[in-house]
Structure 1
Amino acid sequence: MQVLQVQLEVGPDPAEVGRARRWARSRLVGSGIGADEPLAETLILLISELVTNAVVHTGCPAVLRMLFGSPGSAGSPGTVRVEVADASCRPPLQRHAEGDDTNGRGLELVDGLADRWGWQPEGAGKRIWCEVDRSAPLIQVQMRPGPHAVATQGAGAPVVGPQATADQRIATGATGVPVAPTNGSGMAESRKA
């Protein structure tokens, strides 16, 4: 199976997040994923969160990679993988934001939107990755005023905040989802059931 990999170097400046989004959007279109498809919006949001985490929390340059056609855990050729590598050896920390907090929801959002995600050491730093299966039903997130977002899966009824199922976890801070456990080697992974 052929895998298309594209990558972008990202500087340690918060303005680079917007540049990474624009670059990723053009690469998604080039890979056959329409700019207005829900999959594209999900991937752009995941990319935005992972690049923001790298830039804001490490202060180091990073490399954004997108892999199209990579096999997922089930060997699906329809998997899109996003990776962000940085020079910091500090593992990612999944925080749980409270109420009106403006920070601390990034990895919860990644956990809620990606089919799988994790991290592993890379050189002197680390690589955080997530995968979205192109054939899987997507979770749509609508932000509303207040501490809870609303998630719907496919054409399903809305699921609000703490009532969300494991497959509908969203960045509310109310799910109580622990950080992905490591296996002792510094690698962590989260998979949807």
Structure 2
Amino acid sequence: MTDKPNDILLLAGKVLTILMQGFMAFAALTLVITGPLVVVMSDTINAEMVAEYGSTVAPMPVSAILGLFACALVAVALVFFFFGKLRAIISTVAEGEPFLPDNADRLNAMAWLLAALQVAKVVLGAAAVPVATWASALKSEDLHISTDFSSGFDLTSILMVVVLFILARVFRHGAAMREDLEGTV
């Protein structure tokens, strides 16, 4: 049985995970809608760019932008599923049954999702370079884009992956101990 502060904490966790999944769904929808619009509107955008910046401006790199959107869509999907797994764990904690084999599997999946997100982050940075290089060549006062995507892996996230894998083992062991205890009673 949980006490009142924990109930509020669990409710806040559930609300935050739902909000994050909602934001990720919105981001995915935006990417899916914007991608075809870039293709359809590329000639118009290029014509307006020539009108504003002159004929020396390079055409918009449509394929690079679509590649960037695809990478971003993968990252968004990974985050969406991560928070789905977390919400499922929060639900079992609220029910008073956290040490389940399913939660160990969820934690393990969360670790893999976070590891994949680190790889996606590097790929996303590499995919952004041609787009950022094209955009920075415009030298617009209204446009400020950094082409420094050399950040690589985030050490905190890598540590989180390791922690999640360890927690998965702890939960798996806790579930086994719980089954043994129930079998002896």
Q: TM-score, normalised by structure 1?
A: 0.28
Bigger proportion of residues as helix: 2
TM-score by length of 2: 0.29
Structure possessing the higher relative contact order (Cα contacts under 8 Å, 6 or more residues apart): 2
Task: Work out which of the two has the higher radius of gyration on C-alpha atoms and give 1 or 2.
Answer: 2
